[in-house]
Amino acid sequence: MVTFTGGTQGTYQPVMSQNDPAYPTSAPVVPGAPRPDISWWKNGKLWKIFEMKFPGDTHTAAQASGIYNDIARDQNAEIQELDVGRDCDCKTGKAKPGKC
């Protein structure tokens, strides 16, 4: 999980690692900052955001306000919500065809 900051000043950016500034860090939790469930990176860039929903889950305030869509737009990435009850095949442990 990667935290993103800066939406009010412009575009959302990942919090980068202090040890290797070329990569985002999953360590710091910034209070109030959006932190999508899964941030999938390819070739050093955010490629896709996955949001997982389990039975009974509702959208967080950040999701409901569209912040995760803003992050995806700002990072030129895709966003996909996976509803475990609807999109996963529990017998095989895999996503149903066309979901990932």
pLDDT digits (tens, 9 = 90+) for 51-83: 999 989 999 888 899 999 999 999 999 999 988
Give pLDDT tens digits for 33-50.
Answer: 899 999 999 988 899 999
Q: Examine residue 91 and state whether it is found in any structural domain, yes or no.
A: yes
Determine the structural domain holding residue 54 and report its residue range: 4-95
Task: Establish if 100 belongs to a structural domain.
Answer: no
- Determine the pLDDT at residue 84: 85
Please list, residue by residue across 57-93, b when 16 or more beta carbons sit within 10 angstroms of its beta carbon and e when fewer do.
eeeeebbeeebbebbbebbebebeebeeeebbeeeee
Structural domain count, the chain? 1
